[in-house]
Amino acid sequence: MNNKLLNIFFALAVAFTLISCGQTEKEKNLSTPVSGTLKIGIDETLQPLAKEELEAFMAEYNRATIIPSYKPEVDIVNDFLKDSVEVLMLSRKITPQENKIFEAKELVLSTSKVAFDAIALALNKSNEDTIYTYEQITDLFSGKIKDWSEINHKKNGTINIVFDSKNSSTLRYMRDHFCKDGKLPSNWTALNSNPEVIDYVNKNKNAIGVIGVNWISNYHEKKAISYSNKISLARIYPPDSIKNPDNLPYGPRPENIARRLYPLYRDIYMISREGRSGLGSGFMSYVATEKGQTIILQAGLVPANAPVRLIHITNSLNVK
């Protein structure tokens, strides 16, 4: 190597050293929107969708490492408040009381609505009562109705309502919507996961399982298909359907969620506490882009940031 090349190499090395010395260790380790390491808390009811989004993102940006923590809603929010995770994916916004903790730390949260989801009511395959009015659902989950004979006089037995966890978003949703005093009925039972709820309902004819529809909505995924084959899903009339005889019962299908016809729908949010343009904001932006929204659509949910085309298929062609 000649002297000229040596001088150029040395000058570059000195410049790199000066730049590196000018940075703090924290600055050196900061992520970018497409690189670095990120810890994210994900509501367990959204695990199938989140796994697909994460796999697609990290396949495209191989310098990014996102470490997911799949837990019930209460637990991931606690992790967020304790700085254990930087980003959340869940079915509610941060409450004003929770936000005060971040305001005290002078942190401004970034929130993005990314999808529309639903809560599905799983029934045993032998259960012929799969259609309910919204008023019946209200009575079932408020504890007013506890025996199948109150739904169908030809049946009897205590209605066992099972959830994935005592800290889950599905339990919170049903409690907030149907338990006026916040007190849980005696026939509610918490298990440990959505798959456990599906297995329980599959083996118990008197059970109603409360699950995130994401676990059974992806008809391109073998595990979702196997879960779906174990159970039946309840269809529900919209509220006050008695006053409108033209109303129909709706299941938790994407078109019914999108049009708000299925009444047990909810919004899905991503929330970041980064306060900068790092890997958290990069992943949130990806989920909101066409690629990320397409993954949501393929998972059987409804994208929040992309137009959805609803197609009604009939058995006959009517030409006017």
| pLDDT per residue as tens digits for the range 227-274 | 999 999 999 999 987 667 778 999 999 999 999 999 999 999 999 999
Question: What per-residue confidence (pLDDT) applies to 316?
Answer: 38
Residues 108 and 157 placed together within one structural domain of the fold: no
Mean pLDDT of 100-107: 92
Q: Is residue 132 included in any domain, yes or no? A: yes
Same domain, 230 and 167: yes
pLDDT at 40: 98
Tell me, yes or no, whether 70 and 180 share the same domain.
Answer: no
Q: What number is the average pLDDT over the span 161-169?
A: 97
Are 271 and 80 in contact by the 8 Å Cβ rule? The answer is yes
Indicate whether 317 pLDDT > 90: no
What is the pLDDT averaged over residues 217-236? 95
Average model confidence (pLDDT) across the chain: 88
Interhelix angle 169-178/134-142, rounded to 10 degrees, is 110
pLDDT in the model for residue 247: 83
Domain-located, residue 63: yes
User: Are 131 and 221 found together in one domain?
Assistant: yes
Has residue 314 got a pLDDT over 60? Answer: no
Residues 65-92, mean pLDDT to the nearest whole number: 97
> Higher confidence at residue 305 or residue 284?
284
pLDDT > 50? residue 296: yes
Q: Of 31, 27, 30, which Cα lies nearest the Cα of 19?
A: 27
What number of CA atoms fall less than 13 Å from residue 156's CA on the CB side? 0
Task: State both tokens at 34.
Answer: 């497409």
In terms of C-beta density within 10 A (0-12 exposed, 13-18 middle, 19 or more buried), how is residue 310 classed?
exposed
Q: Is residue 199 included in any domain, yes or no?
A: yes
Domain assignment present for 40: yes
Q: Is the pLDDT of residue 44 over 80?
A: yes
Residue 21 has pLDDT above 50, yes or no: no
Q: Are residues 133 and 245 in the same domain?
A: yes
**318 in a structural domain:** no
Domain total in the chain:
2
Asked whether the beta carbons of 129 and 154 are under 8 A apart, the reply is: no
- Kindly state whether residue 211 falls inside one of the protein's structural domains: yes
**CB atoms closer than 10 angstroms to residue 146:** 16
User: Is the distance from CB of 282 to CB of 292 less than 8 angstroms?
Assistant: no
142 and 112 housed in the same domain:
no
Query: pTM (2 decimals)?
Result: 0.85
Give the pair of three-digit tokens for residue 53.
């989004």
Q: Structural domain of residue 91, as residue ranges?
A: 30-116+266-303
Find the mean pLDDT for residues 25-43.
83
Residues of the chain with pLDDT > 90, as a percent, come to 77
CATH of the domain at 293: 3.40.190.10
| pLDDT beyond 60 at 25 | no
Cα–Cα distance for residue pair 238/241, rounded to 1 Å: 6
Rama region for 182: left / alpha / beta (φ>0; ψ in -120 to 50; rest): left
Are residues 251 and 147 part of one domain?
A: yes
Q: Is pLDDT larger for residue 38 or for residue 247? A: 38
How confident is the model at residue 308, as a pLDDT? 55
pLDDT per position as a tens digit, 128-139: 999 999 999 999
Asked if residues 119 and 211 have their Cβ atoms less than 8 Å apart, the reply is: yes
25 lies in some domain: no
Contacts (Cβ under 8 Å, ≥6 apart) of 92: 73, 169, 172, 266, 267, 269
**Does residue 237 sit in helix, strand or coil?**
coil
Q: Do 148 and 223 belong together in one domain? A: yes
Q: Could you tell me if 83 and 139 lie in one domain?
A: no
Rounded distance between C-alpha atoms, residue 47 and residue 37, angstroms: 20
The pLDDT value given to residue 243: 67
